[in-house]
C-alpha cells in the first residue's frame, strides 16, 4: 500500500515536470516565431506603463548597428498649395499686402478681430510632412498667430493638433544673408502615413498674410536600398583645417560617435544653396525636437530627414537643413547641415545663437511621450564629443553665447526663446545628458575665452 502511494507521488512529479518542460519549449518556440515576425528594430518599448506614468516612444535598448539607406540620391516631392494670392509682380515685401483667399481655402471670423483661414483637405501620397509659410515682410506678430493640422486616415479625421509657430525662434540669425532670403512660417510637422491633411491659420488682431502657402512634402521614391553602417565612424573624422588644430585636438581622446552621413539619408546636394558653408564657433549646444509623429520605423528615418530638408530649403528659403544633427528614437545620429560634423557650421535652429552653438534635434514629439533611453544616450555621446572638440565641458555651467550668458553649455531650445521645444518630457532629461556627456569626456584642455 505504501509502495503504491509512493509510486503515485513519483508519477505525479514526473508528469508535472514533463508538462513544465513542454510548456517551456512551447514558449521558446513562440519567442523564436515572434522574433522572426517582429524584428528588434520595429519593436515598441515593452516596459509596463503604470497609471500616471508617461508613455515612452518606441525603441530597442541599443541603436541598430546598421540602417536601411537609399542607394542613390533621392529628391523629395514638394507641393505648395496657395491659400492666399501671391504678391503683385515686382513686389518683394508682404508688408501692408492683404491676403486674398484662393479657391483652396476658406475663411471664418469668430469676432471682428479674429479670423481663421482653413485649407481644403489635400491628399498625401507617402509619409507626409507639412507646414505653412507666407510672404516675407508680412506683419504677423508671433503672439497674434496660431496654426493647427489634422489628418484623415481610413475615413476618420484626427483632432486638430497645434503646429509650432515661433517665427523668431526657429530661424537663421537676424541680419544674416540667410535670414534676408527666408519666408516666415510654422515649423515642419511630420504627419506620417495619412490619406489627407488639412491646416488652419488662426489670427487675432492681424490681417491675413499674402502668399500664404501650405507645403505638403513626401520623401520621394527610393528605387534601391541597402543596409549600411554609419559612414562617419570613429577615427574617420580628421578634416582639421589650418589654424584649427589647437581647438580640435582638445577632443582627441573623447570617443567619437558613429554618424550616418548626408549621402546615407539621400541628400540631393543640388537642393541646398551652392557655395561654402558658414563657420563661426561652438561654445555650447541646443537640444530640439521636430514635433509630431512618433510612429516611424527605422527604414522611414532617411525619408523624414529628406522631407525636413526640403521644407527648410525650398519652402522656408534657408540655405540648407537647419539642424546640425538629427537623432532618431532608435539612438542613431544623422548628419544635418553640410560642412563637416567636426566643424563649427552655422545652422538655422536657434535664432540669435546659431553662430555660437550647434543644434541637435530629436525626430519625434517629446511633448507627448518620454524619450527612450537609447535617444538620451545618443545625445550625451554626441554632445560629449562635439563640445570636447571646442574645449567645453559637458556639465559646464555659466556659458556665454553671443550676447547672452546661459546657465549651462547644453541647453534646450526653450532656454533661448518662447518655444516649448524640445518638449516637456525631453527637457527634464537635459540634466542626464549633461552629466553623461561630462563622464564620457576624456582629458582635454578647456578653452580660455
The CATH number of domain 77-218, selected from 2.60.40, 1.10.3470, 1.10.12, 2.60.120: 2.60.120
CA trace torsion 430, 433, 436, 437 (10° rounding): -120
Region at 27 (left for phi over 0; alpha for psi -120 to 50; beta for the rest): alpha
- Report in angstroms the alpha-carbon separations of 64 from 103, 299, 377: 47, 11, 13
CA trace torsion 85, 86, 92, 98 (10° rounding): 10
Place of cell 485649407: 119
Q: Phi and psi (nearest 5°) for 287?
A: -95, 130
Q: Measure the CA angle with vertex 336, ends 332 and 340; round to 5°.
A: 105
| Distance between CA atoms of residues 191 and 124, nearest Å | 10
Can you give the pLDDT at residue 416? 77
CA trace torsion 179, 181, 182, 183 (10° rounding): 140
Can you give the pLDDT at residue 5? 43
Can you give the pLDDT at residue 421? 78
Nearest to 200 by CA among 310, 321, 112, 114: 114
Ordered mean pLDDT values, 10 residues apiece, the chain (449 residues): 40 48 44 42 31 46 80 96 94 90 94 93 96 92 92 97 80 88 91 96 94 97 92 64 41 82 97 94 91 87 97 96 96 97 94 90 89 95 95 94 91 76 84 95 69
CATH fold of 67-74+229-440 reads Lysozyme-like (3.40.80)
The widest CA-to-CA distance across the chain, in whole angstroms, is 110
- Joined grid coordinates for residue 194: 495619412
DSSP letter string, 175-212: TSHHHHT---BPPPEEEEE-SEEEEEEEEESSPPPTT-
| Distance between CA atoms of residues 29 and 439, nearest Å | 42
Nearest to 65 by CA among 226, 224, 230: 230
Q: For residue 103, what are the contacts with CB-CB under 8 A and spacing of at least 6?
A: none
| Distance between CA atoms of residues 410 and 387, nearest Å | 9
What pTM does this model have? 0.83
Distance in Å from the first CA to the final CA of the chain: 94
* Segments making up each domain of the chain, as ranges: 67-74+229-440, 77-218
Can you give the pLDDT at residue 166? 73
- Joined grid coordinates for residue 104: 483652396
3-state helix, strand, coil in the chain (%, to 5): 25, 25, 50
Can you give the pLDDT at residue 21? 43
- Joined grid coordinates for residue 397: 555651467
Spell out the alpha helix ranges (H) of 88-176.
Answer: none
Count Cβ neighbours within 10 Å for each residue of 263-273 and write b for 16 or more, e otherwise. ebbbbbeebbe
Helix/strand/coil for 123: strand
Q: Phi and psi (nearest 5°) for 436?
A: -65, -40
| Distance between CA atoms of residues 409 and 117, nearest Å | 41
What does DSSP say about strands 399-401 and 357-362: parallel, antiparallel, or unpaired?
A: unpaired
For residue 108, give the H/E element and its range.
strand 105-111
Q: Is 94 exposed, middle or buried (0-12, 13-18, 19+ CB in 10 A)?
A: buried
Amino acid at each position: 500500500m505504501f509502495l503504491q502511494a509512493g509510486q503515485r507521488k513519483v508519477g505525479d512529479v514526473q508528469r508535472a515536470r514533463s508538462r513544465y518542460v513542454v510548456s517551456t519549449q512551447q514558449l521558446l518556440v513562440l519567442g523564436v516565431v515572434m522574433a522572426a515576425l517582429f524584428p528588434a528594430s520595429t519593436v515598441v518599448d515593452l516596459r509596463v506603463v503604470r497609471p500616471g506614468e508617461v508613455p515612452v516612444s518606441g525603441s530597442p535598448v541599443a541603436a541598430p548597428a546598421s540602417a536601411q539607406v537609399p542607394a542613390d540620391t533621392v529628391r523629395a516631392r514638394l507641393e505648395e498649395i496657395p491659400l492666399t494670392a501671391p504678391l503683385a509682380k515686382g513686389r518683394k515685401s508682404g508688408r501692408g499686402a492683404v491676403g486674398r483667399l484662393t479657391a483652396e481655402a476658406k475663411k471664418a471670423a469668430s469676432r471682428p478681430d479674429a479670423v481663421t483661414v482653413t485649407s481644403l483637405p489635400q491628399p498625401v501620397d507617402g509619409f507626409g510632412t507639412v507646414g505653412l509659410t507666407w510672404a516675407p515682410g508680412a506683419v504677423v506678430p508671433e503672439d497674434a498667430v496660431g496654426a493647427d493640422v489634422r489628418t484623415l486616415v481610413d475615413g476618420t479625421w484626427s483632432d486638430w493638433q497645434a503646429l509650432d509657430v515661433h517665427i523668431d525662434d526657429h530661424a537663421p540669425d537676424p541680419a544674416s544673408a540667410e535670414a534676408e532670403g527666408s519666408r516666415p512660417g510654422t515649423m515642419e510637422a511630420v504627419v506620417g502615413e495619412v490619406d489627407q491633411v488639412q491646416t488652419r491659420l488662426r489670427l487675432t488682431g492681424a490681417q491675413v498674410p499674402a502668399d500664404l502657402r501650405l507645403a505638403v512634402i513626401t520623401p520621394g521614391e527610393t528605387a534601391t536600398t541597402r543596409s549600411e553602417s554609419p559612414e562617419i565612424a570613429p577615427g574617420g573624422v580628421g578634416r582639421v583645417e589650418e589654424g584649427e588644430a589647437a581647438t580640435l585636438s582638445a577632443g582627441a581622446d573623447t570617443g567619437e560617435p558613429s554618424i550616418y552621413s548626408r549621402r546615407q539619408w539621400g541628400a540631393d546636394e543640388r537642393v541646398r544653396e551652392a557655395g561654402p558653408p558658414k563657420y563661426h564657433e561652438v561654445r555650447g549646444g541646443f537640444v530640439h525636437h521636430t514635433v509630431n509623429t512618433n510612429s516611424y520605423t527605422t527604414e522611414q528615418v532617411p525619408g523624414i530627414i529628406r522631407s525636413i530638408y526640403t521644407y527648410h530649403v525650398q519652402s522656408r528659403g534657408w540655405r540648407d537643413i537647419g539642424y546640425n544633427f538629427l537623432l532618431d528614437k532608435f539612438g542613431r545620429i544623422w548628419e544635418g547641415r553640410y560642412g563637416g560634423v567636426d566643424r563649427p557650421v552655422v545652422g538655422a535652429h536657434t535664432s540669435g545663437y546659431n553662430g555660437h552653438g550647434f543644434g541637435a534635434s530629436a525626430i519625434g514629439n517629446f511633448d507627448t511621450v518620454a524619450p527612450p533611453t537609447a535617444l538620451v544616450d545618443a545625445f550625451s555621446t554626441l554632445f560629449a564629443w562635439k563640445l570636447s572638440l571646442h574645449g567645453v565641458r559637458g556639465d559646464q555651467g555659466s556659458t556665454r553665447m553671443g550676447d547672452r550668458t546661459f546657465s549651462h553649455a547644453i541647453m534646450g531650445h526653450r532656454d533661448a526663446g518662447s518655444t516649448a521645444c524640445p518638449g516637456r518630457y525631453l527637457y527634464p532629461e537635459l540634466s542626464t545628458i549633461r552629466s553623461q556627456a561630462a563622464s564620457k569626456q576624456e582629458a582635454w584642455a578647456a578653452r580660455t575665452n
